[in-house]
A = this chain, B = another copy of it.
């Protein structure tokens, strides 16, 4: 049996987003235990011109949501309004609800479908669905999920690689 487009996308997103949600719980517990203002972590960056933690989480969610949406049609828009760990957890939950709601057969039918997506503020690129998923979505999705993890790790939250990987 070959690899299906669905198997290579939705369950992978769910694994890593679920793990990220549990990591947010650990970050919130760390702030409570150490009497740290949670905003010190949610607004943290690894370098002044990198994106802050909240945006890394929002982007991980959006690469999953937009990939699924574009492969089958048009993705919903989720506004970037989250500021707290709880709000970010709700964003992840909303993203998981959406990607779980699509029919696997619709995703599986998208390998050869032309998908047009933004690259940067005013350019787009068009690729067949399979290449879009493998070469654009997955690297970006994991980039932002990892950088969110790295920001917390750099700030002393006690998490390890298994927290990043989560469960299938």
Q: Which residues of A contact B (CB under 8 A)?
A: 1-5, 7-8, 11-12, 15-16, 46-47, 50, 108, 111-112, 130-131, 133-136, 138-140, 142-143, 146-147, 149-150, 153-154, 156, 161, 164-165, 168
The complex is assembled from copies of this chain, and their number is 2
Are B3 and A8 in contact, CB atoms less than 8 angstroms apart?
A: yes
Shortest Cβ distance from A159 into chain B, in angstroms?
10
**Do A135 and B2 form a contact, CB below 8 Å, given A47-B156, A154-B47?**
no
Q: Which residues of B contact A154 (CB under 8 A)?
A: 46-47, 154
**CA distance in complex: A108, B161 (Å):** 29
Shortest Cβ distance from A11 into chain B, in angstroms?
7
Task: Please pick, from B138, B150, B168, the residue contacting A12 in the complex, using a CB distance under 8 A.
Answer: B138
Among A4, A8, A108, the one with the most B-chain Cβ atoms within 10 Å of its Cβ is A8
Are A15 and B135 in contact, CB atoms less than 8 angstroms apart?
A: yes
Q: Which residues of B contact A112 (CB under 8 A)?
A: 1
Q: Which residues of B contact A50 (CB under 8 A)?
A: 153
**CA distance in complex: A15, B135 (Å):** 8
